[in-house]
């Protein structure tokens, strides 16, 4: 039986979710769907199916299933046999553990990246930062959060430790979801700037500076998601 329940197998189809019916290339489906989740146009209360997403995004069933599976592996979507897919809702403890694991991983990854800076890799990081800045200025919160996460994932790839980068890949989307669900609704005006100073330290091979900047950036993220007397609204 299909693991993604169709409308006829469960409850009657509810009203369509608010999406434009613009045809999207298959490779664009992941960011479009993830952005919709991060902007809470699809949230844990949304009742959607494989078929409804296919219609919303004018995508093939195979592409929808592929993206849902990827988001499931990233702990963003929950898939259960004979149930509709649903958006995950990480609680405070799950978020705390993910942030702790991220700090352990990223402290090592940023040190490794400083030891082997790559021209093309640094160029891509700067490109991601520019796209993040534009998303913030255009008030595209979902895209800004997603691009911020992509920055950390690409920095991890530059470090040259595939298992550790893969581990980080299991944590960043989950914390991106937590950021989207946080009470801080104004997306960071400074996260992309923090990313830029971090890239500059990596480019110089300044290990101590890069480590300090990474820890400060993660401190801000933790303050946003777990609460603090300080008020920071960042994306990680």
Q: For the segment 208-223, what is each residue's pLDDT rounded down to a tens digit?
A: 999 999 999 999 999 8
CATH class of 92-226: mainly alpha
Percent of the chain having pLDDT more than 70?
Answer: 82
Residues 6+ apart with CB under 8 A from 204: none
pLDDT at 197 over 70: yes
Q: Are 82 and 6 in contact (CB under 8 A)?
A: no
pTM of the model: 0.82
pLDDT given at position 191: 87
- CATH code that applies to domain 7-87: 1.10.10.10
pLDDT at 134 over 50: yes
Domains 7-87 and 92-226 share a fold: no
Q: Any idea which of 36-45, 56-65, 152-161, 182-191 has the lowest mean pLDDT?
A: 182-191
Domain boundaries defined on the chain: 7-87, 92-226
Q: How many CB atoms lie within 10 A of CB 186?
A: 9
């Amino acid at each position: 039986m299909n693991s993604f329940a169709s409308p006829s197998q469960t409850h009657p189809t509810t009203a369509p979710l608010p999406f434009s019916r613009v045809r999207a290339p298959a490779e664009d489906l992941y960011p479009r769907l993830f952005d919709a989740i991060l902007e809470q146009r699809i949230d844990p209360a949304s009742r959607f199916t494989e078929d409804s997403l296919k219609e919303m995004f004018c995508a093939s069933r195979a592409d929808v299933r592929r993206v849902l599976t990827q988001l499931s592996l990233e702990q963003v979507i929950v898939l259960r046999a004979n149930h509709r897919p649903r958006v995950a809702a990480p609680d405070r403890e799950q978020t705390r553990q993910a942030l702790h694991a991220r700090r352990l991983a990223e402290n090592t990854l940023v040190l490794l990246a400083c030891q082997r800076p790559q021209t093309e890799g640094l160029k891509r990081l700067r490109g991601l930062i520019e796209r993040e800045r534009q998303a913030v200025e255009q008030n595209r919160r979902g895209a800004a959060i997603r691009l911020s996460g992509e920055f950390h994932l690409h920095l991890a790839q530059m470090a040259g430790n595939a298992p550790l980068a893969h581990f980080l890949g299991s944590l960043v989307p989950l914390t991106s979801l937590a950021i989207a669900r946080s009470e801080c609704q104004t997306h960071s005006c400074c996260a992309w700037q923090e990313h830029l100073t971090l890239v500059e330290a990596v480019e110089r091979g300044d290990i101590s500076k890069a480590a300090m900047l990474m820890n400060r950036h993660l401190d801000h993220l933790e303050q946003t998601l777990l609460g603090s007397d300080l008020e920071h609204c960042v994306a990680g």
